[in-house]
A and B are shown apart, each in its own frame.
Chain A
Amino acid sequence: MSTDTKERAVHAPQFIRGDELQIPTYKVLKQDGTTYKGATLPDLDKDTALRIYRAMVRTRVLDERMLAAQRQGRLSFYMQSTGEEATTVGFAAALDDEDMIMAQYREQGALVYRGFTLDEFMNQLFSNELDYGKGRQMPIHYGSAKLHYMTISSPLATQIPQATGYAYGQKLAGDKKCTVAVFGEGAASEGDFHAALNMASVLKTPTIFLCRNNGYAISTPASEQFAGDGIAPRALGYGMHTIRVDGNDILAVYSAMTEARCIAVEQNEPVLVEAMSYRLAAHSSSDDPSGYRSKKEEEKWRNKDPLLRMKHWLQAKNWWSDDEDAALFEADRREVLATMKEAEKRPAPVIEEMITDVYDTPPAHLKEQLEGLKAHVRLYPEAYPATSGRMNNG
């Protein structure tokens, strides 16, 4: 409350703890593909449902193959999203394709859903000359202007207040679009998270804050990340709408995000969505979860696989068969391998790209530094094989 809002007075010291407030989890779909009795079902037609499922499968396959490629030494680094596909694909499916997505780094599912091609993925992963980011960032730092997907940045939570600002601009422009910031429960400890939510609430921006609560920030379990009832109730302190959903439940994610988008765009109000899931994969290719969690715990979550859950539902609706499923996995695997082979053959960006995009045009001192560097590479061409044979003489 502000000092001029009407207060409710008491005359004994009353401390309040949040224990009695537990935000419920919205669930629609059971693991066997049936729905809970009386559950609110989203309006999801067959075409959209299959587009979602195909994106989830492709994401799963991409993650499997690229981690394998990393293990073979073909790729320097990778991050899987295994187990979280219902959240990362489902949220994107509930949006308008021109809503802005500002993700953290484990949301490749959203990009797959929007139509980022395997070729585009591979060019980024192999830092080759066709990478939109010109080979400047580590693998998985995707971005696409045409798909309204902001280029990933490693520092955690920085995209969250940016999503508040981006949405404010959409509101000013009268776009009737929203911005979604996606982040983990660990990143929600950063100051930027709190800054972002408070500003969005005060300035009334059409922002959806989607927290993927997957249980771990690298090795740190959620129980050592925060006390209290998770991330969802924090919105209440900021005077914001909030909901918690089962993040492995595609129907719950889709339905909650559809409603959240309505609130954001129609009312110009921000919304927090906490999706409960589990990071079945390691944090990254450099991590080994056996040092901090049990196989038993992983097994429990493997039995809640969001892909299987959705497949069971599709089959119950007679929209999908085992044969189609096997064929889809097989086709995606083949295509991933084929595009990978092409992408890894493409050369690195040319040396001239080192100084572009620092500013809109390279200032004199950068041109001078580039010429100095090129002169050096000419002296030792064998030490810099990626660029020495491909320099222009400017």
Chain B
Amino acid sequence: MAKMNLLQAINNALDIAMAENEKVVCFGEDVGVFGGVFRATSHLQEKYGRARCFNTPLVEQGIIGFANGLASQGSVPVAEIQFADYIFPAFDQIVNESAKFRYRSGNLFDVGGLTIRTPYGGGIAGGHYHSQSPEAYFAQTPGLKVVVPRNPHQAKGLLLASIRDANPVIFFEPKRIYRASVGDVPEGDYELPLGKAEVVKEGSDITLLAWGAQMEYLEKAAELAEKEGISCELIDLRTILPWDRETVAASVRKTGRLLISHEAPLTGGFAGEIAATIQEHCFLHLESPIARVAGLDTPYPLALEKEYLPDHLKIYEAIKRSVNF
């Protein structure tokens, strides 16, 4: 075990993947000698050469178009989009190309080797365009996998699994906790399963569900609630698409209550999809309406960021409302 922050864990996963398989190629804006604006790709060019770790021109649609072609050729591209806020020029290449490559060709061709890494989320004074959480846009796109890790240990295992998965994966990295989240990480090679949620803490009164950076707020809120005698079960969804309904449903059947939290705006957020599915499968077990604690339906603000974020206090209040319904 080594102490690593989330960035170091990602860098370590890329290093392991590149050492193990010479077909793994990392690229994106400033990814080369500089190692990326957050340093996730530090020293990879030094170690593996410019052909396998390099800067691209500043063109997101080109980066993903290039990555699709490279993956269809049999390489294993790990493309970085510098901020998730800037992924939209590549939306066509992701939604119409990456996601449908295998299906439309009847499995003659695929881009299963593709992984798109991108930092997402707020809390860094980034305003509209360095703060968004666009996971729900991609969750409605069959053919993609969408993964979000919550800490260094998870990040390394899930990224290695994403790179080796036979399907295109968008890997959203919680940049607010890139350096703040520090933990024990095995130094060797390991994978954590995609499509599988994790019960982080067991409890009996309410199920709290989130992913990525939001897990930290969930844990703090649960601590506050425990002081009031409310026992919380915490689940990290980890994979948004395809998501692990069984783990969430089993928990809700036990607790009778569900709260889902994400940073993205409430309307059309992925919590809505989870709520609809869980009420279908757990209707007679529910003691209160499924609660959603999310961002407001506004563009992501700057000066009022603290007010905007679905923090531990908002979650704590929602827990009490649910339990006292």
Residues of A within 8 A of B (CB): 100, 102, 131-134, 136-137, 141, 143-145, 150-151, 153, 155, 158, 160-170, 172-173, 179, 191-192, 194-196, 198-199, 202-203, 356-360, 363-365
Inter-chain contact A169/B108, CB cutoff 8 Å: no
- CB-based contact A162/B102 at 8 Å: no
Q: Is the CB of A192 within 8 A of B62?
A: yes
* Chain B positions within 8 Å of A150 at CB level: 72, 105, 109
From B59, B72, B195, A162 is in contact (CB under 8 Å) with B72
Task: Tell me whether B62 and A360 are in contact (CB under 8 A).
Answer: no
Do A359 and B167 touch (CB < 8 A)? yes
B112 touching A198 by the CB < 8 A rule? no
Q: Give chain A residues whose Cβ lies under 8 Å from the Cβ of B195.
A: 363
Residues from chain A with a CB closer than 8 A to the CB of B93 are 158, 161, 192
A131 to B104, CA, bound (A): 11
Q: A166 to B104, Cβ gap below 8 A?
A: no
Residues on the A chain within 8 Å of B62, using CB: 161, 164, 192, 195-196, 198-199
Q: Is B109 touching A143 in the complex (CB atoms < 8 A)? A: yes
B107 at the interface (CB under 8 A from A): yes
- A162–B64 Cα distance when bound, in Å, is 8
Q: Is the CB of A151 within 8 A of B105?
A: yes
* Number of interchain pairs (Cβ within 8 Å): 154
Which residues of chain A are near B70, meaning CB under 8 Å?
A: 165-166, 168-169
B67 touches A165 (CB 8 A): yes
Complex interface: chain A residues within 8 A of B126 (CB): none
Pairwise interchain contact A198-B59, C-beta atoms closer than 8 A: yes
Task: Compute how far the CA of A132 lies from the CA of B102 in the bound complex, rounded to whole angstroms.
Answer: 11
- CB pair A165–B242 under 8 Å, yes or no, is no
Q: Is the CB of B73 within 8 A of A170?
A: yes
**Do B68 and A365 have beta carbons less than 8 Å apart?**
no
Other-chain contact of B104, A136, A191, A202, A203 (Cβ < 8 Å): A136
Mask: chain B, 105-128; 1 = CB below 8 Å from A; 0 = not? 111111010000000000000000
- Residues of A contacting B102 in the complex (Cβ-Cβ under 8 angstroms): 357-360
Q: Does the CB pair A155–B96 fall under 8 Å?
A: yes
Chain A residues within an 8 Å CB radius of B14 = none
Give the distance in Å from the alpha carbon of A193 to the alpha carbon of B233 in the complex.
51
User: Is there an interface contact between A145 and B66, defined as CB atoms closer than 8 Å?
Assistant: no
B105 A143 Cβ-Cβ under 8 A: yes
User: 4 shortest A-B CB distances, which residue pairs?
Assistant: A161-B65, A165-B69, A195-B62, A162-B69
Q: Give every chain B residue within 8 A of A131 (Cβ-Cβ).
A: 106
Complex Cα distance, B86 from A284, in Å, reads: 35
A164: contacting residue among B54, B66, B89, CB under 8 A = B66
Instruction: Answer yes or no: B45 CB below 8 A from chain A CBs.
Output: no
State in angstroms the CA–CA spacing of A168 and B70 once bound together.
7
List of A residues within 8 angstroms of B166 by Cβ: 359-360
B69 close to A164 (CB less than 8 A)? yes
Q: A387 vs B90: C-alpha distance in the bound complex, in angstroms?
A: 37
Measured between C-beta atoms, what is the minimum distance from B309 to chain A in Å? 31
Choose from B25, B109, B142, B245 the contact partner of A172 (Cβ within 8 Å): B25
Q: With an 8 A cutoff between CB atoms, is B310 at the interface? A: no
Interface set, chain B 33-59, CB cutoff 8 A to A: 51-52, 54, 56-57, 59
Contacts A136-B106, A143-B108, A164-B65: A191 and B89 contacting too (C-beta < 8 A)?
Answer: yes
Contact A162 B66 (CB under 8 A): yes
Sample (17) of A-B pairs whose CB atoms are under 8 Å apart: A133-B108, A141-B104, A151-B105, A158-B68, A165-B71, A168-B75, A169-B74, A173-B73, A173-B74, A192-B61, A195-B61, A196-B65, A199-B66, A203-B54, A357-B103, A358-B142, A363-B242
Q: Is the CB of B73 within 8 A of A145?
A: no
Q: Are B65 and A192 in contact (CB-based, < 8 A)?
A: yes
Alpha-carbon separation in the docked complex, A13 to B59 (Å): 31
Among A100, A131, A357, A365: residue with most chain B CB under 10 A? A357
> Which residues of chain A are within 8 angstroms of B167 by Cβ–Cβ distance?
359-360
B256 in the interface, Cβ–Cβ < 8 Å? Answer: no
**Residue B143 is within 8 A (CB to CB) of chain A in the complex:** yes
